[in-house]
Structure 1
Amino acid sequence: MTVRPSVPLGDEVPAAVAGRVFLQVGHRRVARYRERVDSSLSGLVVTGDGALARAGQLREEGFEAALLVDEACYRVAAATPEAPFPVLDDEPAPLFGDPLEHQMLAHLAFANAALAPTGYVHAGAVGALEAAAVRVARLGDARVVLTVPVDAGWFQAGLVEQLADVLGRYPGPKALIVGGRLPDEVCATGLVRLLELVPGAGVLRAGLGAFGGLARGAGFAAFGADGSMRRAALPEPVKEVSRGGPGSPAVLFPELMGFFLGLTLAKRLGDEDQGCWCEVCQGGDLGRFTTMAHQAEAAGHNVAVLMEWIAQMGSIGAAVRGGWWRRRCRQALDSYAVWNARIQQVPGFTAPAELAAWAELPDLQAERDVPAGPGVRAVGRGAAR
């Protein structure tokens, strides 16, 4: 693929990614998802230290949907003012040119935009953040995204404004990856505040925040296909210790907007499982994914439901998406009590804190009351209860 010439920096989100909710996947698991993404609304963010090579293979195999490469350098080391891109900056410099430019051109050979390999940005590390912004701006290419893997500590009072100030002064596209251990409600509130100050920023490696972020002004987003892809961990040495697997795949229960192990669903739903009507299940029970042999089919179900959500959000005007998303989350939160009353089990289904956080956020001031519309229905399941 021939690399296109650079595009001058501007405030616009790259057209190839604007408004999309990507699916973020590990580079070893791409095969489960590549045929199921809606190329008109979504795409893949291939993640990990083998992501660039896998992206090349995807293009050679005819994959035509939008594609991004996240080599997850933030999992290795933190950014510093001297080395904002530690994986590149700690290696021998090339004989000619900027190592960052070389790396970004390698991404652009296969990807629709290039994600800068910024190290993990600890809360308050303004110098490291500014150094990354200066280096990326120097490239002068609007296809390169200033990627900022920030600790959730930035979302505390006082720091979020500093983060927004640096990002707001950077003249090109930018995207957030959130890590750390602050409560989900703090992260959701902080993300919304940041997007108010820096509209158009992307939100990558997220869970429900991918949809919530896009509803609140993000330029594009990526939902993690599994739990490891829904938040960045603090940099730490690679550990080879295996603790064994869960025994059954994680399955998205559409009406509850949460993931549960297949075995858990089988035990709790029992005869109450009335079937899922997503493109993959076609009326099949959600409780059927009871072993890891069902992993590929469960992944297909999860993606099918997510693509429905993406299509629904795309059908709603940007100005009222925030209210729609909050109502959608509130409806799911209310459904936990309904389902727990039906199954009469202890423990029952427990709502994830992230869902409650998005359900309880206040409406944007500019939003107006609108009918719930088709997007508020419990997608992926039959209408009968």
Structure 2
Amino acid sequence: MADRVLLQVGSRRAARYRGRLDASSSGLVLTGDGGLAKAGQLREDGFDGALLVDEACYRVAGASEEAPFPSLDDGPAPLFGDPLEHLMLAHLAFADLALTPTGYLHPGATGALEAAAARVRRLDDPRVVFAVPVDASWLHPGPVEYLAEVLQQVVGPKAVLVGGRPDARGGAAGLARLLELVPGVGVLRAGLGAFGGLTRGAGFTAFGADASMRHIVPPTPAKAASKGGPGSPAVLFPELMDFFLGLTLAKRFDGEAPACSCEECQGEPLDRFTSMAQQVPAAGHNASSLMVWVRQLRAVGTADRAVWWRRQCQQALDSAAVWNARIQQLPGFAVSPDLPAWAELPVRRAAAQHAG
């Protein structure tokens, strides 16, 4: 898994992306119900790429000191052995590493975090990743140092997933601080932080293939009813490093869309994804474009990556201004708040000097 940017997808949508992955630098994180069964099916179908399964138990339950892994701890006790060990072995039958089913760590849930870490330490299995789904407040000064202290106590691989409503600048700074304190931690279910994290010392990361895979919604007693889906797929506009609905792109470009050179598009214009009938080719475009970023990132020396990534983000901000001047529409292309957050995040002096 080292130095990979995986693609995090809903388990039922894996087929849309698997053909566009760079096997040498990426892979899949199958997420949600049915992920383990889908992993087995993919392996039977010949998929030999990097593979993880995230059962996403944090979507439905918080971790507590008594039940840090609620999907296991709140159920019937097994006749023998540790239920966590049994589940991790089931994952390892198909996945390269096993992600713990840790519940959501609400603000201040220190006892739950320590209890989960203690259980993972007892397993003492280097193939088990301590998955830590934390509320965004854990990345604030003070809590992030405590989080790092607990993570340092777990010898094996670790990965963080961030939930709630993080402030973009604070979230980027907090993630960078955590990776400075605990180099090698994975970053899952992320957006631009998947790339930003790898430039700041993450061991591996996962970029969410759609918006729901790029953040965690904290578990609540009652989920809000869905208001229906969009009329067109979300499409990555690589030059602006952000996603827009296909219909929005068609309206903004007004017949003058740029050609896309990714493996899926091969020179076709970027405004053609105007209905949900284009979901599969849109997914292929998104994955192919992300793989270009992965290859570019991995071609940069480790010490130079943070400076390189900040420059990429600044170029995307500049491109947004250029495109908005070109299309002369209100509203124009709005940029994600994550983009200026990573563009403006300071780079440690040693890395900047090395890059210069």
Q: What TM-score results when the alignment is normalised by the length of structure 1?
A: 0.90
Specify the SS of the correspondent of 1:147: strand
Whether the 8 Å CA contact 2:3–2:204 is kept in 1: the answer is: yes
Corresponding position of 2:63: 79
Cα deviation for residue 241 of structure 1 reads 3.4
1:1-385 matches, cutoff 5 A:
17-237=1-221, 239=223, 241-368=225-352
Specify the SS of the correspondent of 2:255: helix
Q: Residues 157 and 371 of structure 1: is their aligned pair in 2 closer, same or farther, counting only changes over 3 Å?
A: closer
User: 1: distance between equivalents of 2:221 and 2:36?
Assistant: 22
Question: Counterpart amino acid of 2:115?
Answer: A
User: 1: distance between equivalents of 2:282 and 2:132?
Assistant: 32
Cα deviation for residue 122 of structure 1 reads 1.2
Whether the 8 Å CA contact 2:234–2:246 is kept in 1: the answer is: yes
User: 2: distance between equivalents of 1:371 and 1:328?
Assistant: 14
Q: Residue by residue, what CA displacement relative to the aligned partner does 1:189-237 show, whole Å, maximum 9, x if unpaired?
A: 1000000001000000000000000000000000000000001110124
Cα deviation for residue 182 of structure 1 reads 2.4
User: 2: distance between equivalents of 1:117 and 1:201?
Assistant: 17
**RMSD across aligned positions (CA):** 1.3
Q: Residue by residue, what CA displacement relative to the aligned partner does 1:118-173 show, whole Å, maximum 9, x if unpaired?
A: 00011221111111111011111000001000000011221111111111122111
Specify the SS of the correspondent of 1:367: helix
Whether the 8 Å CA contact 2:189–2:208 is kept in 1: the answer is: yes
Q: Residues 371 and 128 of structure 1: is their aligned pair in 2 closer, same or farther, counting only changes over 3 Å?
A: closer
Whether the 8 Å CA contact 2:307–2:355 is kept in 1: the answer is: no
Q: What TM-score results when the alignment is normalised by the length of structure 2?
A: 0.98
Cα deviation for residue 240 of structure 1 reads 8.1
Q: Residues 370 and 256 of structure 1: is their aligned pair in 2 closer, same or farther, counting only changes over 3 Å?
A: farther
User: 2: distance between equivalents of 1:172 and 1:192?
Assistant: 20
Whether the 8 Å CA contact 1:272–1:343 is kept in 2: the answer is: no
User: 2: distance between equivalents of 1:121 and 1:260?
Assistant: 31
Whether the 8 Å CA contact 2:304–2:355 is kept in 1: the answer is: no
Q: Hey, which bits of structure 1, 4+ residues long, moved more than 2 A?
A: 236-242, 368-372
Question: Counterpart amino acid of 1:236?
Answer: T
Specify the SS of the correspondent of 2:172: helix
Cα deviation for residue 271 of structure 1 reads 3.4
User: 1: distance between equivalents of 2:354 and 2:232?
Assistant: 40
Specify the SS of the correspondent of 1:95: coil
Cα deviation for residue 371 of structure 1 reads 7.8
Q: Unmatched 5+ residue regions in structure 1? A: 1-16, 373-385
Specify the SS of the correspondent of 2:202: coil
Q: Residue by residue, what CA displacement relative to the aligned partner does 1:43-93 show, whole Å, maximum 9, x if unpaired?
A: 000000211111111111111000000000001111111110001000111
Corresponding position of 1:379: none
Question: Counterpart amino acid of 2:335?
Answer: A
Q: Residues 131 and 263 of structure 1: is their aligned pair in 2 closer, same or farther, counting only changes over 3 Å?
A: same
